[in-house]
A and B are shown apart, each in its own frame.
Chain A
């Protein structure tokens, strides 16, 4: 359960940045998971030089600066062409980042390990140990959640951001530089993804495939939670995190359902393998299945507002 929650919170760190960018700028950042990967690789390189704890700070800033530069020089240029080119350019960026990462750090896994303070279990519960690194993810995610919330609702810049979200022209005529606010938001979102990469990269593995592995999941999270809803993203990430972690541990299949109601599933034939798939085997597709179900029964997402 706690593993699921910590995975869910990691997903939320990613999807919160995505949601922020989307709700502000209407841009679905396809390269978001690539920023996550960059965060992990930056942290790996930096921690080799100055250690993990400074990297925890420097790597997200580096990723954030790159995100801001991308917004300033690429995204802003295509903004006038509409939303599809905006999505396309981030799609192109995801290709580019993947290739550059392979170019610089190679195609295999890099040995980005946990610092000593985070190794080992934090506590044992019913015989299973809960690693410190997972709890660190939870800690960082919660701190981040609270600070984003405080930033958006309690500070001046947060209020400007919220105002620019709904009335960009008005905010501009009040003397605020809205394009710069957009740049900050994009950079901030990228930095959040980078932060998730710094702590996710050493808990899981740091490899070129890591962006693709979480990439589509966080889009599922954003759609399931309701496009642009931060709270929805939170709920959806936890749900999907827990769902996936539980499913991996379960051994039920459709044939055991058959057995429970008194039938015996056939061992041969086209459907046999389908019936004998265990829940742990189908775990990777559960988020997508969930997405389809949500779209059929509640098209606006869990906490999304009705489309106008």
Chain B
């Protein structure tokens, strides 16, 4: 490759932009809500990336990642409480490492059992272990604090270079620094021989065995490393919230959430899970505030994504950027507009239906009137129902039509690109 120095320069630029973004964002979005969101995004990026080390890079579908983040959180909380009482002199900036070591320790323990198998069996074992730890946590209230959880105070000990980490903004920058370092380390991991071998194990474990590597040990090692980063994320979460509850942070629901959003973001590329982390925060904080049925929309989106774009959002972006670079993107633009229109209409019809059913379920005592996006709908009138079904059907019809356009034009563009001598996207 003649352009390797150019590529390296571009790679460096990407990292600089990432660092600058982490630094500048809280200065631009100054409201306390956005600061809270940004802090959560910061440590969830670490967690989702660590999860993708298993899912995307190792082909290991884990249903128990929350075990390592959660246990990391608990260890971090206890370490903070101990340090505050003068037990262990650990400064706050090193607390996430305590979480990381805890996650790693438990990954050493549980990973030995989990990584004995790959594929479906691996998934089932992680599920079982996740349930095991989650129910154990409720049985041992001394350590896990029962249903109330364990709370702590992050302001203790000597200030670190003048920071005492009381204000949220200081916590954010702590998270941001960890986020940057962990992201860089995990990216570096993908470039190591071990990272490459992990990809090879994902693609064809048998061949890896034939050239003399122990695929089980490779999976095990990757599992331990992923456990470490998951624990760091958990430790940061503990610092951020100052409270950890077993019901929430170790639950299988949480593990499922990591899986869902890592996949939505894009398991196939390194940066996909970061998109997923942003989506996770946006939907669990903002979307859940808008509608009670947010999990329904999310599940539907997830299924559509698995069916039509298994590479996630990152893959969609990559493909389009590639076409754009080849100067063939603009003919697609009207098709995309059309598709967007179709999905907006379908979504409108669907959400009216869902919200009306929910209104009848939960708020029927408030009368038949239901506020919806600035207007008021009457759930007792047949016209509203017929109307929303009609809107939904129109949207679906538009989508089907748009899909046909898209496939035709997409194939045409691919042919043109190949005729130009380029590689099809």
Interface set of A (CB-CB < 8 Å, partner B): 22, 26, 28, 74, 77-78, 81, 83-85, 87-89, 91-93, 95-96, 98-100, 103-104, 106, 212, 216, 219-220, 222-223, 227, 270, 272-274, 277, 281-282, 284-285, 287-289, 291-292, 295-296, 299, 307
Residues of A within 8 A of B119 (CB): 83
The complex places the Cα of A281 from the Cα of B61 at a distance, in Å, of: 31
Which residue of chain B has the shortest Cβ distance to A283 in the bound complex?
B135
| 5 A–B contacts from the bound complex (CB under 8 Å) | A26-B120, A220-B128, A285-B136, A292-B113, A292-B129
Check: B401 CB closer than 8 A to any chain A CB. no
Q: Contacting A222 at CB < 8 Å: which of B113, B124, B139, B256?
A: B124
> Contact between B128 and A216 (Cβ–Cβ < 8 Å)?
yes
Known: A89-B303, A216-B128. A285 touches B135 (CB 8 A): yes
Closest 7 A/B residue pairs (Cβ): A95-B299, A288-B132, A99-B296, A92-B303, A96-B299, A92-B302, A89-B306
Nearest CB in chain B: distance from A207 CB, A? 15
Known: A81-B310, A95-B302, A273-B141. A295 touches B116 (CB 8 A): yes
Known: A83-B119, A292-B129. A219 touches B303 (CB 8 A): no
Interface set of B (CB-CB < 8 Å, partner A): 55, 59, 61, 113, 116-117, 119-121, 123-125, 127-129, 131-132, 135-136, 139-143, 252, 256, 259-260, 263, 293, 295-296, 298-300, 302-303, 306-307, 310, 354, 357-358, 361
The complex places the Cα of A304 from the Cα of B83 at a distance, in Å, of: 50
Nearest CB in chain B: distance from A251 CB, A? 15
Q: Contacting A216 at CB < 8 Å: which of B252, B302, B306?
A: B252
Known: A92-B306, A270-B143. A227 touches B132 (CB 8 A): no
> Contact between A83 and B142 (Cβ–Cβ < 8 Å)?
no
The complex places the Cα of A26 from the Cα of B119 at a distance, in Å, of: 11
The complex places the Cα of A296 from the Cα of B125 at a distance, in Å, of: 11
> Contact between B361 and A99 (Cβ–Cβ < 8 Å)?
no
Nearest CB in chain B: distance from A107 CB, A? 8
Known: A92-B303, A106-B361, A288-B131. A84 touches B59 (CB 8 A): yes
The complex places the Cα of A291 from the Cα of B116 at a distance, in Å, of: 13
Which residue of chain B has the shortest Cβ distance to A285 in the bound complex?
B135
Q: Contacting A84 at CB < 8 Å: which of B61, B139, B296?
A: B61
The complex places the Cα of A92 from the Cα of B299 at a distance, in Å, of: 5
> Contact between A28 and B299 (Cβ–Cβ < 8 Å)?
no
Residues of B within 8 A of A281 (CB): 139
> Contact between B296 and A96 (Cβ–Cβ < 8 Å)?
yes
The complex places the Cα of A261 from the Cα of B377 at a distance, in Å, of: 72
Residues of B within 8 A of A106 (CB): 361
> Contact between A296 and B358 (Cβ–Cβ < 8 Å)?
no
Residues of B within 8 A of A78 (CB): 306-307, 310
> Contact between B135 and A284 (Cβ–Cβ < 8 Å)?
yes
Residues of A within 8 A of B260 (CB): 91-92, 95
Known: A282-B139, A296-B113. A227 touches B121 (CB 8 A): yes
Which residue of chain A has the shortest Cβ distance to B304 in the bound complex?
A92
> Contact between B135 and A28 (Cβ–Cβ < 8 Å)?
no
Q: Contacting B132 at CB < 8 Å: which of A77, A84, A285?
A: A285
The complex places the Cα of A85 from the Cα of B119 at a distance, in Å, of: 12
Nearest CB in chain A: distance from B141 CB, A? 7
Residues of A within 8 A of B120 (CB): 22, 26, 28, 83, 87, 227
Q: Contacting B306 at CB < 8 Å: which of A85, A273, A284, A291?
A: A85
> Contact between B307 and A103 (Cβ–Cβ < 8 Å)?
no
Which residue of chain A has the shortest Cβ distance to B298 in the bound complex?
A95
> Contact between A99 and B302 (Cβ–Cβ < 8 Å)?
no
